[in-house]
Chains A and B, each alone.
Chain A
Amino acid sequence: MGQWLLPLRGAFEWVDTFPSSIAIRESQYVYPGLLTSHVVALMLFAGLILMMDLRLLGIGNMQTPFSQLQRRLFPYQMAGMVFSAITGVALLYAQPMRFYPNIFFWLKMFLMALAGLNAMAFHYLTYNSVSRWDKDPILPPAARLAGMLGLGLWMAVVVAGRLIAYNWFQ
């Protein structure tokens, strides 16, 4: 793993010694329960993000104006994100030294940061002009680009997350 991660190693090793971390790690049901909850939460989040990205790309959910779709789905997307984050942090807390040396874990974190930047750029820049393209069958290039990046990046996050289970490069 890259040298720039080394300062974090101490923190990961420290958390690894917490009795509560060890307790979750060794419990027969809590860890699988957290893992399953994480999958359910991320399905809610990624599934509804994907539906919005299909609309931005002009290939799905076209009978709903974009702003209406965004208003309707946003609360559920946020609920999915919060629940994914809580279960994700708990999983990390339970096995810090499993994730620290895993390249897919760091790749996932990096891709999530990029996906977040894409979402913010869309929300604070492109979305301002939504009234001009809300019902258009072909959206402006900036909106289509945001849809394509959102789709690609979030799917890549899901892929990297799943691949954490395979320690090919350790």
Chain B
Amino acid sequence: MQPTFEWMNNLPVSAAIRESIWISPLVNVGHLLALVLLVGALLIVDLKLLGSDEGTSLDKIARDAEPWFIRGFVLMFLTGVPQLISNALREYYSPFFWTKMLMLVVALIFTFTIRRRVVLSADGAISTGIRKLVGAASIALWAGVAIPARLIGLFT
């Protein structure tokens, strides 16, 4: 992996990002705004999983939220790549970066397989216990992505 990260770090575009005073902060701000969107679209469903059955059904809430979750994720990816390539060696040597990436893979697979099946299922098809478990697991997994991410920059 190390040669790949060195290659990313040495790209002319990486150097250009590093040398600009403005690009990194603006990309970073975009990443944070995308995170707000992603977390909102995630929690609106997870809190329903954890909460009561009253009101609009879970599958309708989930169908409304899904496009916003995907938009948030695409924006996170687009603003994440420039930060990765311009700091590739710092990321390579940060255990928090690798924790984040591992959690990200697990959280994504969970979200688009198990969680998606549960949240889009018909009313009453899934027991309350399973629903609550899936909601809690979803929040825990995504917190496991976000928390190490914040720590990458704090412990370098």
- Where the two chains meet, the residues of A that have a C-beta atom closer than 8 Å to any C-beta of B are 32, 35-36, 39-40, 43-44, 46-51, 54, 60-65, 68, 72-73, 76, 155, 158-159, 162-163, 166, 168
Contact = CB atoms under 8 A, between A and B. Distances in A.
B150 to A, nearest CB: 5
Contact of A47 (B28, B29, B40, B154): B40
A61 B65 contact: yes
Contacts of B35: 43
B86 to A, nearest CB: 15
Given A43-B35, A50-B40, A64 B61 contact: yes
Interface of chain B, main secondary structure: helix
Contacts of A32: 151, 154-155
A43 B44 contact: no
Given A39-B150, A162-B28, A63 B60 contact: yes
B136 interface: no
Contacts of B21: 168
A68 B54 CA distance: 10
Nearest to A54: B68
B73 to A, nearest CB: 14
B61 A61 contact: yes
Given A36-B150, A46-B40, A51-B41, A64 B64 contact: yes
Contacts of B48: 72
A79 B146 CA distance: 19
B56 interface: yes
Contacts of B42: 47
Contacts of A63: 56, 60-61, 63-64
A162 B32 contact: yes
Range, interface on chain B? 20 to 34
Nearest to B33: A155
Nearest to A47: B40
Contact of A158 (B32, B51, B61, B146): B32
B37 interface: yes
B36 A72 contact: no
Contacts of A162: 25, 28-29, 32
Contacts of B29: 158-159, 162-163
A159 B56 contact: no
B141 interface: no
A101 B48 CA distance: 43
Nearest to B143: A40
Given A47-B43, A48-B44, A72-B47, A35 B37 contact: no
A68 to B, nearest CB: 5
